[in-house]
Structure 1
């Protein structure tokens, strides 16, 4: 007979080998919950991917196909004439793409550089009224962007920068409260002992920032870079207001103008929309892990 001490030391049976557990009936409620979860997820996927698939299908049709068939009907035959037309002399979509890319690159570099400097100062540099200044600056997040459009437009008009390239860049170049807040909180989580050890080795503030703080913050910097690229690639309101001609039109403004300037040619508009979305899809495919982490960290969509 097996002693109680030996029974106490025996390992528990493997999952699924216990006769009682194996013969236990599966509750219908749990199965229904799993099925409902899958139904909701599939429905959400279709709702999310549906507009993009529809825009691509429309872009691959001729105007005659779009007018004579259902919008849900696949293109037959598939044509690329809408995409080639956008890069012809009649539409010249190359310039808006180039302007948008330049704006995004400059804003991205400026946002990261100035946000890192400001966040490190608020997190690790002691100066009078540091915390008060930070919270006053952070409070500007509560001001809607629309409220600042008219003052910014008036300012750029008076200094002669309206309808120029720098009018698209300067309002967003020197960091943002949102980015500085995220970086400040992350910099404060870096152990002070690491920074003190670097100072004992003779490193100054700049060396500590470049060699220690920034490498440790690659994850949050990648998150901010993705957020900045997506936000300014899709920026529409400010470029629409501050530019008055085709010279400095961004991609979003040029796409919007197609709806009114060319008699509502929706196949052409959908081709332009597909071109505008393509870089973001490539960005998502390359940095999928960082985008998912940005959703978890910031709740950004």
Structure 2
């Protein structure tokens, strides 16, 4: 369970488990980004060693207490029992305003597995042809983030537990796990909707336009008009009498004219709380 897999499993469910498990036996021939990284990585590794004193590394390390959690840092140095690591990335994007969440998660996972006290992401922006746009890479130190790290660990452990359980599709009662996850997601969505609407009410229903790496929210308020039936009936008594007679006829006809109809009911509720 290295960083690539661990970052894919944050908040993942059974569908993602199945997809990743199916991909595990395949081979990845690489793409433009990986080929660019392979070409430039040795150059950046030498730069990291010269500027930070952390040499290149190609060793697979296992977490001391959870050996299925593993990492292969690009650069690593142990000094008096303390590890320092560097994660190298090349990108066509400008990350000067902040690293993407996936990149931060990559480094957090490496830092956790190694027990590193010092961890950095060294990134180098390149053009579409893979040529660096600056003379030197950029360095971003990765700070501890216990909540984000726990999400990584929880996702990895859930996937490993599913593997150990024999890759089940259903629970003990035969209910598909995907259905159980969907039920849970729907309920979480209802609770989340309450939070969002409460926040909109606090802001007096003002229009909102929010975009983040967690999703987007659009809320708008539009003035308009609609048919005022009460006013119409009050203004035209003759029409009101015709409509009232038509409604009476329809109501009387409902007892005589019937056709088959299938009704369904779906109720999704929160989990039952254990008795105190």
Q: Tell me if both proteins adopt one fold, taking TM over 0.5 as the criterion.
A: no
Larger Rg: 2
Structure (1/2) with the larger strand percentage = 2
TM-score scaled by structure 1? 0.20
TM-score scaled by structure 2? 0.21
- The structure with higher relative contact order (CA 8 Å, sep 6+) is 1
